Amino acid sequence: MVVAVAVFAATVLHAAILCSAGMTSSFVRSPQKSVDMPLDSDVFKAPPGYNAPQQVHITQGDHVGEAVIVSWVTVEEPGSSIVQYWAENTSHKHKAEGKFNKYKFYNYTSGYIHHCTIRKLQHDTKYYYEVGVGSSARTFWFTTPPKVGPDAPYTFGVIGDLGQTYDSNITLTHYEKNPNKGQTVLYVGDLSYADNYPFHDNVRWDTWARFVERSVAYQPWIWTAGNHEIDFVPEIGETKPFKPYTNRYRVPYKASNSTAPFWYSVKRASAYIIVLSSYSAYGKYTPQYQWLEDELPKVNRSETPWLIVLMHSPWYNSNTYHYMEGETMRVMYEPWFVKYKVDVVFAGHVHAYERSERVSNIAYNIINGLCSPVSDQSAPVYITIGDGGNIEGLANNLTEPQPKYSAYREASFGHATFSIKNRTHSYYSWHRNQDGYAVEADSLWFFNRFWHQIDDSTTAA
Ligand SMILES: [Fe+2]
């Protein structure tokens, strides 16, 4: 009898899981405040040596993955803007010369910020590169992506809203130790949170860049601008939005015919990545609108099957934090995302994790009242991953009841990986900071919307 009851209970439980609607995780993270690491933390330490390059970071430098932008800062003097680089197992060193810039922000003056693009790199090749001179020179390495093609496997990490707290450090360590081995980070905005300090203390832009160097000097991070990059402070005379961000972080926007560094695209392996700006004009006739309208028809899914969009402010968000902030951009662009069958949209901003089912809400026309999200297999999955662990803490106030479109949500810190296997399948997993490095707190197989458009829902309709 006891056995029969247990079997019955297990059957009911199993059925409940299979037929479940969206899930609000029962995992409750202890609500301690996120605290920034102090300035003398080891992760912020400047490298030894006179004028040694610090804050080294790389990103893709062209549209197809054959160039890399190398950036770094020198403090004592400009020094050299030259990058020396060489492929593994070769002795010939190539040289490229970049430029440096410097900026002031209220009472802060930056170091010498160098940017140098190295081009004509071979695909699938490990390169070493060296910046700085003499005994202060520093050597790093990266691996170029495979040639753009429909079945090139590639694994992206996804991180957002990282900041520089103890939790941020745990997130970055989890990403580094994740056995899925991300090869490039898709970064969905809000980098340093320097603007939480008096006068937006830009020293915290420097410390952030020293903190993340251990990853971003070795693999590219694809940048998206968030609200904490705006740094608009007219009361202290700082009226040029994005000043620290654009001085420090360069992206290859001209290679995709964009006219501003806040929206652009890159191809990488089998993925076409479109980066949008929640904080630049996106209404009809604006530069971003015109660019996206021209851009989406250019995506050739026979070349790059996976169409990924990055933005900061999420369109589908059932957290009370930043509720509806993405709505106006959704109204403008969602019909295009469905028409062009975007596979997945990654956003940040909300300091929690949420994954949607494939839904759209594009039928409404002011008079017909059709304004509810509906299941739509041509629509992307929307993932909010603003859970890097910054000083503002968790967004732990979820709206109730959980909307039907919301497949999984949880107020925890973490990161994700999106691992493309071929043109039809990609494996996605979200990793919570409290777990072991290999634990997947949420995971699913993505089926490509162009090549394999079958239902990949994980909850009952
Ligand atoms: Fe944000």
Of the candidates 322, 351, 415, 431, the residue annotated as catalytic is 322
Give the amino acid at 287: P
* Closest to 283 in 3D by CA, of 333, 212, 246, 351: 333
b or e along 198-236 (b: 16 or more beta carbons within 10 Å of the residue's beta carbon)?
A: eebbbebbbbbbbbbbebbbebbbbbbbbbbbbbebeee
Which strand ranges, in their side-by-side order, compose the sheet holding 425-432? Answer: 221-222, 184-187, 154-159, 414-420, 425-432, 442-447
Over the chain, what is the mean pLDDT?
94
**For residues 189 and 301, what is the distance between their CA atoms, to the nearest angstrom?**
26
Torsion of CA 122, 123, 127, 132, to 10 degrees: 70
14 is catalytic: no
pLDDT score for 21:
74
Model pTM score: 0.94
pLDDT score for 2:
39
CA atoms within 13 A on the CB side of 305: 21
pLDDT score for 31:
63
Query: Which residues of the chain fall short of a pLDDT of 50?
Result: 1-19
Angle at the Cα of 246 from the Cα atoms of 240 and 251, rounded to 5 degrees:
145
pLDDT score for 15:
37
For residue 386, how far is its CA from the centre of ligand 1 (angstroms)? 8
| pLDDT tens per residue across span 28-45 | 766 667 899 999 999 999
For residue 312, how far is its CA from the centre of ligand 1 (angstroms)? 7
**For residues 130 and 56, what is the distance between their CA atoms, to the nearest angstrom?**
11
For residue 17, how far is its CA from the centre of ligand 1 (angstroms)? 33
For residue 333, how far is its CA from the centre of ligand 1 (angstroms)? 20
Angle at the Cα of 117 from the Cα atoms of 115 and 118, rounded to 5 degrees:
140
- The reply to whether omega before 401 is within 30° of 0 (cis) is yes
For residue 227, how far is its CA from the centre of ligand 1 (angstroms)? 5
3 state SS of 339: helix
For residue 185, how far is its CA from the centre of ligand 1 (angstroms)? 18
pLDDT score for 10:
39
pLDDT score for 18:
38
pLDDT score for 12:
38
* Closest to 354 in 3D by CA, of 393, 398, 311, 418: 398
Please compute Rg for the chain using Cα positions.
22
